[in-house]
Amino acid sequence: MTQETSLLAFPPDESGGEAWLRYPRLCAADASALQALCTVNACPGAEAALSELDRALAGWGLPPRTDGDGLSLSLDPALPEEGFCISRPSPQQVRLAGGSPRGLLYGMFHLLRCVNCGLPLEGASAPAVPLRMINHWDNLVCDPVHGSIERVKGGDTIFDWTDLARPNPRYEEYARLLASVGLNATCLNNVNAEPEILSTDMIRGLAALASVFRPWGLRIFISVNFATPVLLGELDTADPLDARVQDWWRNKADEIYAAIPDFGGFVVKADSEGKPGPGTYGRNHVEGSACLARALAPHGGTLFWRTFVYGRNLADKLPDPKARADRANHATHEFMGLDGQFEENVILQIKCSAIDFQIWEPVHALFGKLSNTRMCVEFALTKEYSGLDVHMNWEGPYVSEILRSPLVAGRMDAVTAVANLNNSRNGFGHLLHGASLYTHGRLAWRPDADPRAVLDEYTVQMFGPEAGPAVSEMMADSYDTVASYTMPMGMTYISEFLHHFEPDPWANHDGAGITADGIGVDRTAATGSGYIGLYPPELAGRFEDPATCPLRCLLYFHHLPWTHSLPGGETLIQSLYDSYCGGVETVRGYRRQWRALHGQIDLERWAHVCEKLALKERHAERWRDLVCRFLEEISGIKDAQGRFDAPSVHNRVRSGYRQAFEDYRARVERERGVMRRKPI
């Protein structure tokens, strides 16, 4: 076959920037339903829903809509505000009712999704969680055009922080993308917040952005620095009990809401990783959060107060040195005694797990200690410890497991995740990482949904009904695969300390509890740090015994000898060797699966994923070789198959192709005053 005929075998090229909102020509669809969608009777408030329908009709190659009774759009006050109901009175008619214009919009996206995926055009739905959100880690201090994004390496921020009011078509596309999966809130800037976000000029820019987002039901939140009054030079203290500080926040909230009436509120990272907070002034988190919450309350605003605190002086709460040394304990002990004391508009934003977005880390025990406090579970779409934008990694099964946990299920006032959106051509850096955002939105809407069914929706909309199922099959176990060649069985922290991408077990293995006699962290109530004892009895009993502890988090809870026998009869150390090697083989299988899709997917997107999978294989080999050689070295036990006797192309020097710690270093320099702040 010549090169020319080979290229002609591919569909037309796509950048991937439309993600799952492609609306390609439909080969097989309900003809009567499509005909119905071309004649519309719409109620007031349906403008955004109609604009999306117009995009779909054009993409499907259908004539523009006209007035008629094929598709009826109406508002039904009996429905939940964001809910919708789709029905088919006859084969030639479709009825879509929403509890509000937002409900209509979500219903329209669902209707169009059903057409794309060949699903029945009927049913009712409403979100199970009121606030469904993403958190950007975008930085304001940046180069003159675009800023950086902490922990996201696929591209820079889409937001022009020098002039947010400047028209940018990507802003509306961004809002459409979030609305299409039912997200209704976004926090635009890094939790390591810079004070300039609250400057008057920036508020004007945020107001312009809010006007673009509003038709898509998307409310703006911003992260704020607790010490902003001091950092802006307007006060000499940020003590939350000082009346001047309370007045400052009240006035600032008034200024924001005068410009943005539907402003969502603040996200705060305080007393964490060097950030100022109420502890700076001898106050607790209730006192610190109340100062900001009371400023927001008259406007209906919400304060998300992050609980990611560790390393503080907890000697009074944790007299046992082993308990004090284990940071998994810290946030739970810091906050569990404050249950029921927070202001009504405060939501504690709790990471899904206690350490720091580790792979298959169990659900955070703090969720089980709060019965009278509003809570939000926080996930990470950024793949901070699982390959950034290089490693194909769909975390749907993990997100689903956390949301279905008895500590979380039905108890959340909000669900959020660290965003992986950026200004790359496909919007995510890795084309397939849109699956993470898609799944986050769909599971935030309905936490009991089958994650695999959600993935199938995504792949069919991305690649069509022919290639979609094969892509879904390839991605379904990708989270387990990344765990198998990076940190299997609940291992933590063997990546490099700053950027969390490269394996570096020689320098950073303490967090995984790796010693000459064994591996894992003893968090048992009997002999360890006691973290297991913070769980409810039924979970604690399961985790406490290595025989009943889930294998995927065994080493998170237990320090075991290298020769410990696993249920299958193999030793722990040999199982680790096999896991690392098996993970690499699985990645090679992914490459074969993707190559088999040649001609079924356009060349640009097909070649992009080919390249990413090649990088993934190379880096998986690097993890395997470096970690397994380290394990042989420290345990003194060789792999039974001798797979690491031959020299490796990988060595302990950082690979160099991915220098992923620049953002962290830049942030440290900014905080030290080394970098000049750009003018607002």
Q: CATH number, domain at 46?
A: 3.30.379.10
281 by Cβ neighbours in 10 Å (0-12 / 13-18 / 19+) ranks as middle
The yes-or-no answer on residue 163 being catalytic is no
Look at residue 632 in the predicted model and tell me its pLDDT. 97
Query: Is 113 among the domain residues?
Result: yes
Q: What is the pLDDT of residues 64-119, one digit of tens each?
A: 999 999 999 999 999 999 999 999 999 999 999 999 999 999 999 999 999 999 99
DSSP β-ladder status, 518-519 and 560-561? antiparallel
β pairing state of 93-98 and 84-90: antiparallel
Rounded CA separation 529/341 (Å):
27
pLDDT at 417: 98
Examine the domain organization and report whether 158 and 138 are in the same domain.
yes
Question: Can you say whether the dihedral through the CA atoms of 223, 226, 227, 232 is positive or negative?
Answer: positive
- Scored b (16 or more CB within 10 A) or e, 50-76 reads bebbebbbebbebeebeeeebbbbebb
Q: What is the average per-residue pLDDT within 3-7?
A: 45
Distance, CA of 344 to CA of 341 (rounded, Å): 9
Does position 638 have pLDDT exceeding 70, yes or no? yes
Share of the chain above pLDDT 90, in %: 86
Residue 496 pLDDT grade (very low, low, confident, very high; cuts 50, 70, 90):
confident
Q: Nearest Cα to 392, choosing from 434, 440, 454, 357?
A: 434
**Is pLDDT above 90 for 546?**
yes
| Contact of 38 with 66, CB cutoff 8 Å | yes
What is the three-class DSSP state of 326? coil
Domain presence at residue 29: yes
- Residue 623 neighbours by CB under 8 Å, 6+ apart: 485, 486, 503, 580, 583
Distance of CA 196 to the CA centre of its chain: 25
Alpha carbon distance 284, 305 (integer Å) = 12
Task: Provide the domain limits for residue 116.
Answer: 3-125
My answer on whether 184 and 202 are in the same domain is yes
pLDDT at residue 452, rounded to an integer: 98
Pick the closest to residue 29 from 115, 89, 88, 93 (CA basis).
Answer: 115
Structure tokens at 569: 């009869």
Q: Which of 122, 273, 320, 669 is catalytic?
A: 273
- List residues bridging with 504 in a β-sheet: none
241, part of any domain? yes
Per-residue exposure over 83-100, b if at least 16 CB sit within 10 Å of its own CB, e if not: bbbbebeeeebbbbbbbb
Between 500 and 248, the higher pLDDT residue: 248
Least confident of 173-177, 255-259, 499-503, 609-613: 499-503
Buried b (16+ CB within 10 A) or exposed e, 509-547: bebbbbeeebbbbbbbbeebbbbbbbbeeebbeebbebe
Q: Which residue has the tokens 């020689």?
A: 506
Out of 356, 361, 378, 401, pick the active-site residue: 356
Q: What is the pLDDT of residues 139-175, one digit of tens each?
A: 986 544 335 888 777 788 999 999 999 999 999 999 9
Which pLDDT value is given to residue 657? 38
**What was the pLDDT predicted at 141?**
66
Q: Write down the residue that tokens 């696929």 correspond to.
A: 154
Residues 323 and 269 occupy one common structural domain: yes
Instruction: Decide: helix, strand or coil at residue 427.
Output: coil
Beta strands 302-306 and 346-351 are parallel
Crossing angle between the packed helical segments 285-296 and 243-259, to the nearest 10 degrees: 40
In this structure, the answer to whether residues 280 and 417 fall within a common structural domain is: yes
Whether 578 is in a domain gets the answer yes
Question: What is the percentage of the chain residues whose pLDDT exceeds 70?
Answer: 93
Sign of the dihedral through C-alpha 157, 162, 164, 165: negative
Check the CA dihedral 116-122-123-126 and report its sign.
positive
pLDDT mean over 409-434: 96
Structure confidence by residue, pLDDT tens digits, 422-462: 999 999 999 999 999 999 999 999 999 999 999 999 999 99
For residue 180, pLDDT over 80 is answered with yes
Q: What are phi and psi of 294, to 5 degrees?
A: -70, -25
Give the CATH number of the domain where residue 578 resides.
3.90.1330.10
Residue 394: closest CA among 508, 302, 483, 475: 475
Where residue 439 sits, what CATH number does that domain have? 3.20.20.80
- pLDDT tier at 656, thresholds 50, 70, 90: very low
Residue 139 sits in the same domain as residue 97: no
What are the start-end ranges of the E strands in 466-582?
518-519, 560-561
Report yes or no: 417 and 380 within 8 Å, Cβ to Cβ.
yes
Closest CA to 71 of 83, 81, 56: 56
The token duo for 512 is 């995984």
In a domain, 491, yes or no: yes
Question: 354 near 328, Cβ under 8 Å?
Answer: yes
150, 384, 457, 621: which is the annotated catalytic residue?
Answer: 384
pTM of the model: 0.94
pLDDT confidence of residue 660: 41
Band (189; pLDDT cuts 50, 70, 90): very high
Q: Answer yes or no: is 402 within a domain.
A: yes
150 & 286 share domain = yes
What band does 311 get if pLDDT is binned at 50, 70 and 90?
Answer: confident
Q: Is the pLDDT of residue 521 over 60?
A: yes
DSSP code at position 671: H
Give the pair of three-digit tokens for residue 414. 């909000």
Same-domain pairing of 32 and 172: no
Query: Which tokens sit at 372?
Result: 């009278």
Predicted pLDDT of residue 31: 77
Domain membership flag for residue 205: yes
287 pLDDT exceeds 80? yes
pLDDT in the model for residue 655: 52
- Pair 213, 325 in one domain: yes
d(CA 420, CA 426): 12
- Residue 276 and residue 389 share a domain: yes
Residue 494, pLDDT > 60, answer: yes
The answer to whether residues 602 and 490 belong to one domain is yes
Q: In terms of Cα–Cα distance, which of 310, 297, 249, 335 is closest to 534? A: 335
169-190 burial, b for 16+ CB within 10 Å, e for fewer?
eebeebbbbbbbbbbbbbbbbb
CA distances from 221 to 86, 209, 231, 451, 592 (A): 31, 11, 20, 28, 43
pLDDT digits (tens, 9 = 90+) for 323-341: 999 999 999 999 999 999 9
In this prediction, residue 673 carries a pLDDT of: 44
Residue 503 CA: distances (Å) to CA of 177, 252, 360, 492, 662: 34, 45, 17, 11, 17
Are residue 497 and residue 436 in the same domain, yes or no? no
Residue 13 has pLDDT above 90, yes or no: yes
Question: Quick check: is 676 in a domain?
Answer: no
- Confidence band, pLDDT 50/70/90 cuts, at residue 678: very low
Within 283-381, strands assigned E span 302-306, 346-351, 375-380
Going by pLDDT thresholds of 50, 70 and 90, the confidence category of residue 653 is: low
Task: Read off the pLDDT band of 1 (50, 70, 90).
Answer: very low
pLDDT of residue 483 exceeding 80: yes
Please give the DSSP secondary-structure letter assigned to residue 557.
H
For residues 136 and 121, membership in a common domain is answered with: no
Look up residue 471 and give its amino acid.
Answer: V
What's the rounded mean pLDDT across residues 377-401?
96
Do residues 348 and 335 make contact, with C-beta atoms less than 8 angstroms apart? yes
Domain count, the chain: 3
The answer to whether residue 473 is catalytic is no
Taken in order 503, 378, 269, 491, is the CA torsion positive or negative?
A: negative
Task: Verify whether residue 339 is a known catalytic residue.
Answer: no
